[in-house]
């Protein structure tokens, strides 16, 4: 019997568990450990609330969690409540699937000002993540700036631009929907250092900008290279650029009060303000012969009241686990950190790819683990691997006063969220750990 602890219950963790069940059959027992009482990671707290079709993948994870060979252990922080060394003593293998939950800093003066925040925090706020439920972004200014040229930047802009009616059937939390309904923001700028050919948008996200009720996407025609240069692009990127060129040809729509400007060839220099953000100073850039963004020497200042940085993410370090500070992920060789200790998904490769990218990553990791010897295979006859792992973990947590949650506790929370949903919405998320614990303990009514 092989025992496996997977740290993190997001896509990478569940895809690895699913693949391990298939690879090792009845000879595997898996504990999926998460610091939150709720599973699903980015599916729950990172995917845009108006992208319900993507969130539907959680039903696939449900089937994994309900498998008798799998146990969900929530509300346990690895590195604090239990150490990596202790888990390696209990389990044959430990897989870190913790993702990359922290924003990469901008590294410019003024980023500490009120009103400047990372996209992980901003997305967590409107998605009801307990860490960011009290964020309260300033929505009283007319202009917002989003730094980054990827899908997360578009998600943030789209949520700022949508009407209450457009968000009504999403699972955006009410503590975000209410202030967004009173928002004064009318100009949203998405900024990147390079041009349309280098943007990391996908077709779905960039296309959605043209379908908003009260917002118009704007692109400067002078930011494009000659049209015949588009033929050198791969098909997906070429179609994205085609949409961007169409936006550039349309121009403003006076019937729509909100504009979303996709501003290319701009690099942030510093954020200005007295206590809170009031403006951002920018440098115009151009591409050199190798396609890198270089400064032109021309600067401009844009007044704004909200700045969201969407330039990348970092994995959270864990004590006694080698960490690559430069890349912001665990130091590993193709997923192996040291014997018995592995990493997968963004914790292995950094924040790249889509949710689906984690599936082949999880399959490859499960196959590698299946091909290595069980580290605890030489235990005394009669010693149950399952007892050693699960009961051993329970004993450690009980001794430390830690009360973990199980999957049935999550199902109770899930039912409570569905029951309290506003009309048309799939759920209204519970956003504080105290209320989650109270519901699990039966101290609060669903």
First to last CA, the chain: 39
pLDDT in tens, 115-131: 999 999 999 999 999 99
* Mean pLDDT, residues 147-154 taken together: 96
Tell me: domain 104-309, CATH 3.50.50.60, correct?
yes
Tokens of 297: 């020497």
The answer to whether the CB of 172 falls within 8 A of the CB of 55 is no
What is the signed CA dihedral for 18, 20, 22, 27, rounded to 10 degrees?
-130
Any residues with CB less than 8 A from the CB of 341 and at least 6 apart, and which? 84, 88, 93, 94, 96, 321
Residue 265, CA atoms < 13 Å, CB-side half-sphere: 22
**pLDDT one-digit tens code per residue, 156-207:** 999 999 999 999 999 999 999 999 999 999 999 999 999 999 999 999 999 9
Burial grade of 303 (CB within 10 A; 0-12, 13-18, 19 or more): middle
Give the domain ranges of the chain.
2-101+315-405, 104-309
Q: Are 117 and 98 in contact (CB under 8 A)?
A: no
281 pLDDT exceeds 50? yes
Q: Which pLDDT tens digit goes with each residue over 74-106?
A: 999 999 999 999 999 999 999 999 999 999 999
Report pLDDT digits (tens) over 209-251. 999 999 999 999 999 999 999 999 999 999 999 999 999 999 8
- The 3-state DSSP class for residue 25 equals helix
Average pLDDT of the chain?
A: 94
Which pLDDT value is given to residue 382? 47
pLDDT of 305 over the 90 cut: yes
What span, in angstroms and rounded, lies between the C-alpha atoms of 377 and 385? Answer: 9
Confidence class for position 373, pLDDT limits 50, 70, 90: confident
Q: Give the sign of the dihedral formed by CA 209, CA 214, CA 220, CA 226.
A: positive
pLDDT of 443 strictly over 70: no
- 323-346 pLDDT, tens digit each: 999 999 999 999 999 999 999 999
DSSP secondary-structure letter at 37? Answer: S
Residue 384 pLDDT level (bands cut at 50, 70, 90): low
Q: What pLDDT, in 10s, does the model give residues 400-421?
A: 999 999 999 999 999 999 999 9
pLDDT band at 275 (very low <50, low <70, confident <90, very high): very high
The CB density around residue 420, as the number of other CB atoms within 10 Å, is 14
Other C-beta atoms within 10 Å of 256: how many?
A: 15
Tokens of 267: 């690099």
Residue 378 confidence (pLDDT) above 70: no
For residue 379, pLDDT beyond 70: no
pTM of the model: 0.93
Distance CA 287, CA 291 (A): 5
Question: Quick one: pLDDT at residue 376?
Answer: 80
Topology of the domain comprising 2-101+315-405: Rossmann fold (3.40.50)
């Amino acid at each position: 019997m092989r025992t496996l602890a997977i740290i993190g219950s997001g896509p990478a963790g569940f895809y690895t568990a699913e693949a391990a069940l298939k690879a090792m059959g009845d000879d595997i027992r898996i504990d999926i450990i998460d610091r939150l009482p709720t599973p699903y990671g980015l599916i729950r707290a990172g995917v845009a609330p108006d992208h319900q079709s993507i969130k539907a993948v959680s039903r696939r994870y449900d089937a994994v969690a309900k498998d008798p060979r799998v146990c969900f252990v929530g509300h346990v922080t690895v590195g604090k409540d239990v150490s990596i060394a202790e888990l390696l003593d209990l389990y044959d293998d430990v897989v870190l699937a913790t993702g990359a939950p922290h924003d990469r800093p901008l590294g410019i003066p003024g980023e500490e000002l009120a009103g400047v925040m990372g996209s992980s925090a901003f997305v967590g706020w409107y998605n009801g993540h307990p860490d960011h439920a009290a964020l309260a972004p300033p929505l009283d200014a007319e202009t917002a700036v989003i730094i980054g040229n990827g899908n997360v930047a578009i998600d943030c802009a789209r949520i700022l631009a949508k009407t209450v009616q457009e968000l009504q059937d999403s699972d955006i939390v009410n503590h975000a929907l209410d202030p967004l309904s009173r928002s004064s923001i009318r100009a949203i700028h998405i900024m990147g250092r390079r041009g349309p050919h280098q943007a990391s948008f996908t077709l779905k996200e960039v296309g959605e900008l043209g379908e908003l009720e009260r917002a118009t996407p704007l692109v400067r025609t002078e930011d494009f290279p000659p049209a015949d240069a588009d033929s050198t692009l791969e098909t997906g990127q070429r179609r994205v650029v085609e949409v961007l060129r169409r936006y550039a040809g349309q121009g403003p729509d006076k019937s729509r009060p909100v504009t979303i400007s996709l501003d290319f060839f701009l690099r942030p220099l510093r954020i200005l303000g007295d206590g809170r953000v009031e403006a951002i100073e920018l440098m115009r850039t151009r591409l050199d012969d190798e396609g890198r963004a270089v400064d032109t020497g021309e600067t401009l200042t844009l007044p704004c009241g909200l700045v969201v940085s969407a330039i990348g993410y970092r994995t959270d370090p864990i004590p006694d686990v080698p960490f690559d500070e430069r890349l912001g992920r665990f130091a590993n060789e193709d997923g192996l950190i040291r014997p018995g200790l592995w990493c997968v998904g963004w914790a292995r490769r950094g924040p790249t790819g889509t949710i689906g990218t984690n599936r082949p990553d999880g399959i490859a990791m499960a196959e590698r683990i299946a091909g290595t010897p069980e580290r605890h295979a030489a235990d005394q006859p009669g010693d149950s691997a399952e007892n050693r792992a699960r009961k051993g973990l329970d004993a450690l947590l009980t001794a430390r006063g830690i009360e973990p949650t199980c999957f049935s506790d999550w199902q109770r929370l899930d039912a409570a969220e569905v029951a309290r949903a506003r009309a048309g919405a799939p759920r209204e998320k519970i956003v504080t750990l105290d209320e989650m614990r109270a519901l699990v303990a039966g101290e609060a009514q669903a």
